[in-house]
Amino acid sequence: MKRQTTDIVIAGGGVAGLAAAAAFGTAGFNVTIIDPTPPVTVGDQDGSDLRTTAFLQPAQRFLETAGLWSKLAAHAAPLQIMRIVDIGTEKPVTRDFDAADISDLPFGWNLPNWLLRREMVARLAELPNVDFRAGVGFRAMLARTSELIVTLSDGSQLAAKLLIGADGRNSAVRQAAGIGAKTMRYGQKALTFAVTHDAPHDNVSTEIHRSGGPFTLVPLPDHDGKPCSAIVWMDKGAEVNRLAALDADTFETAANDRSGFLYGPLRLATRRMVWPIISQIADELVAPRTALVAEAAHVMPPIGAQGLNMSLRDLSCLLDLATAKPVHLGDPKMLATYARQRHPDIRLRVTGIDALNRASMAGRPLAQSLRTKGIEALYGAAPVRRTLMNLGLGAG
């Protein structure tokens, strides 16, 4: 079988990998993207990803450069206010972080993951220099001075200047590169689903804290004429498994109790899905001719919309370096610069989200009281509040 040549091979056809292929393809690079599982692009089909992703402002700008935002904007629900509600103490505390304090735009925009895949796949079909091989996975790689040979699961080989590992927390690319990862486990899982409710969400993303983990409602476009929100409900693994097994009526009762009825009665609009919660950082971000991005490089609990937005910051950094000097694509200097620019930010944000998650898990009265006082203190100092909002958007 004849070995084919390309500029970039992307392993992983999730949202991050598809965004990478669109961005590098739009920039003029020849790209081959592979994934052993073809993407599910219909919401009610078995295997569809019913989670949602909130794209913050820098991520939205990246999607524009990739030719994606024009396809996504009409389906997105804006996030104008981030609301934190602590109902774990005798006196509940509510604090709002309003994007208007720092920007003329919303904090971000929320979209269903299955729809993201649909529109991203459509974008790749428009790019003649992008080859999407769904159903084909990564098997092995051999780095040379001037190129890298990638062997695929169908036995074919590709010669490329750069391999981007966007193949998830159990990344085969990371393992093939001999890169380890530090993993922190919390004994938590996340239950994800969408609901309709009577009260309008008014483009407010609401994170409700009690014990076990946050219960977050993120705005979605209306569903069947009703206000709609995506929910991420984090708790101890055994409790999430119990909730996932409840019949719909009993589950809705539990969800209404956990939400404090802030939106009125919640009614299931989708099936429920369960995801394990961990934090993880790869020991290194690069190997010869190889860069790790997204969950191959870092994983964190779904708090503050940081996960995929960090992934797109990885891609934005790589794209900037690649387009600045295309002749040096994948060489040691480019990859060392990528690692130097991204690793500190990754460590800062993973550590910060880890601390927020541990505080949210607090079940003892004293710990809950300290969490509440921390929310009040951070909100009360205007310069600190603005700094936190800018950090959340990826600035600083």
Nearest to 19 by CA among 51, 58, 65: 65
Average pLDDT over residues 148-153: 97
Angle CA 43–46–49, to nearest 5: 50
pLDDT for 388 equals: 44
Q: Centre a 10 Å sphere on the Cβ of residue 202 and count the other Cβ atoms it contains.
A: 10
Band (pLDDT 50/70/90 cuts) for residue 371 is very low
pLDDT for 1 equals: 59
Q: What is the mean pLDDT of the chain?
A: 87
Whether this prediction's pTM lies above 0.75 is answered by: yes
Angle CA 184–188–194, to nearest 5: 125
Amino acid in the structure at residue 107: F
pLDDT for 391 equals: 47
pLDDT for 148 equals: 96
| Selected residue with higher pLDDT from 351 and 135 | 135
Q: Read off the pLDDT of residues 50-62 as tens digits, 9 standing for 90 and up.
A: 788 888 888 999 9
Most distant CA pair in the chain, distance:
70
pLDDT for 241 equals: 97
Render 254-288 in DSSP notation, one character per residue. HHHHHHTTBTBSEEE-S--EEEEEEEEEES-SEET
Q: Is the pLDDT of residue 370 over 60?
A: no
Nearest to 93 by CA among 388, 376, 379: 376
pLDDT for 362 equals: 58
- Domain residue extents for the chain: 4-49+116-183+282-356
165: Cβ contacts below 8 Å, ≥ 6 apart:
11, 12, 171, 172, 173, 174, 177, 290, 291, 292, 293, 296, 297
Q: Read off the pLDDT of residues 231-261 as tens digits, 9 standing for 90 and up.
A: 999 999 999 999 999 999 999 999 999 988 8
Q: Which CATH superfamily is domain 4-49+116-183+282-356 in?
A: FAD/NAD(P)-binding domain (3.50.50.60)
Q: How far apart (Å, rounded) are the C-alpha atoms in residues 162 and 224? A: 46
